[in-house]
Amino acid sequence: MAKKEKYNVAVVGALGMVGSEMIRTLERRNFPVDEFRPLDIPENAGKTVAFNGASVKVQAAVKENFAGIDIAIFSAGATASESLAPQAVEMGAVVVDNSSQWRMDPECPLVVPEVNPDDLKWHKGIIPNPNCSTIQMVVVLKPLHDAGTIRRVIVSTYQAASGGGKRGFDGLTAEAKEYLETGKQVEPRVHPVQLAFNCVPHIDVFQEKDYTKEEYKMVYETQKIMGDKAIRVSPTCVRVPVWYGHSESINIETERKISADQAKKILADAKSVVVVDDVANNKYPTPLDSNDRDETMVGRIREDITIENGLNLWVVSNNIRKGAALNAVQIAETLVDMDLVRVP
């Protein structure tokens, strides 16, 4: 069968924060769309979204509305994905899913296109998008792993409120406004404690050994994406009062020594990575720098002074773009490039 020139594309959760960014990303990157079909909860059917200058009516995210769709990009949550993604595949669509539902399923490749695009060759219809904090970390770690073989990672994340979706974004905004007006501690909107002007070392639920679900995602997703279960990951995930842009302090230990200068060169040559590291002139990436940027930025690259083969890195990326919408669209682009837009 000849490769298509254009594809029928659905975005599920089209009215949400990430779904809206997925639509903008498809537009911005000139994805070869023939028909565009926005889908959302039945209550939102009939509303409209803008796409390539046209107003497109939202349809209900139900099985029959996947008919004729080639690629369905989901941002509808794990519960919806559990039931809807297989239905979309039954209707002939390849699903790229932004939820956590399918990430650790051994039948589903977990893909960051800069890291493991070849894993798409064994997809069976559903391709999960990794967690936002994992994506930006492995984009930076993979070229260093290729050079020196990473054996241990200690990572502390500083994750923006929008990582919790619109509810998280609006919750921080409301808390900050109330705190500035009253000067008193406020009732928390989303987290167990106030996030505004605070840091909360608690993202998702606590699990075995008092690590959170978010932290375990970074452990197991990193090993799966990098294809190396020997990589040990020790994470602490923290929500901070920032609207957009996740930051990570990463310490790695490698089998073969990589100097700071070597690391800077390796990362400067890496795909989708930008090195911002000129401490003499106070140049290093911050969450504000990630606004309207697709690249993952890395700075404060320096050797660990406590071990022989260690590096410290500061990594920043826009969690709604590369951490969600952009990576999903890049997966779709890679499927097109590799002629894999078909259900086996």
In terms of C-beta distances under 8 Å and separation of at least 24 residues, what long-range contacts does 262-265 make, across chains too? 262/147, 263/144, 263/301, 263/311, 263/313, 264/301
Kindly state whether residue 344 falls inside one of the protein's structural domains: no
Whether residues 162 and 273 share a domain: the answer is yes
So what's the pLDDT on residue 114? 98
Domain range for residue 110? 7-130+324-337
Kindly state whether residue 1 falls inside one of the protein's structural domains: no
Q: What is the DSSP pairing of strand 296-303 with strand 48-51?
A: unpaired
- From CA 272, how far away is CA 294, in angstroms rounded? 8
Q: Which residues of the chain have pLDDT under 50?
A: none
Whether residues 222 and 290 share a domain: the answer is yes
Whether residues 155 and 45 share a domain: the answer is no
- Among the listed residues 234, 258, 261, 259, the one whose alpha carbon sits nearest the alpha carbon of residue 248: 234
Average pLDDT, the chain: 97
Kindly state whether residue 312 falls inside one of the protein's structural domains: yes
So what's the pLDDT on residue 4? 87
- Among the listed residues 297, 313, 209, the one whose alpha carbon sits nearest the alpha carbon of residue 253: 313
So what's the pLDDT on residue 66? 98
Q: What is the pLDDT of residues 72-116, one digit of tens each?
A: 999 999 999 999 999 999 999 999 999 999 999 999 999 999 999
Does the annotation count 191 as an active-site position? no
So what's the pLDDT on residue 1? 61
Active-site annotation holder among 123, 145, 191, 246: 246
For residues 195 and 161, the answer to whether their CB atoms sit within 8 Å is: yes
Kindly state whether residue 342 falls inside one of the protein's structural domains: no
In three-state secondary structure terms, 127 is: strand
What values do phi and psi take at 83, rounded to 5? -90, -40
Active-site annotation holder among 108, 132, 145, 191: 132
- Among the listed residues 109, 63, 124, 110, the one whose alpha carbon sits nearest the alpha carbon of residue 88: 63
- Among the listed residues 188, 145, 184, the one whose alpha carbon sits nearest the alpha carbon of residue 168: 188
Cα–chain-centroid distance for residue 344?
A: 26
Number of domains in the chain: 2
pTM of model > 0.85: yes
Whether residues 117 and 240 share a domain: the answer is no
So what's the pLDDT on residue 107? 97
Residue in the structure block whose two tokens are 């073969």: 256
Whether residues 221 and 315 share a domain: the answer is yes
- From CA 340, how far away is CA 344, in angstroms rounded? 9
Reported residue count of the chain is 344
Whether residues 125 and 145 share a domain: the answer is no
Cα–chain-centroid distance for residue 235?
A: 17
Residues 6+ apart with CB under 8 A from 282: none
Does the annotation count 199 as an active-site position? no
- Among the listed residues 150, 109, 152, the one whose alpha carbon sits nearest the alpha carbon of residue 130: 109
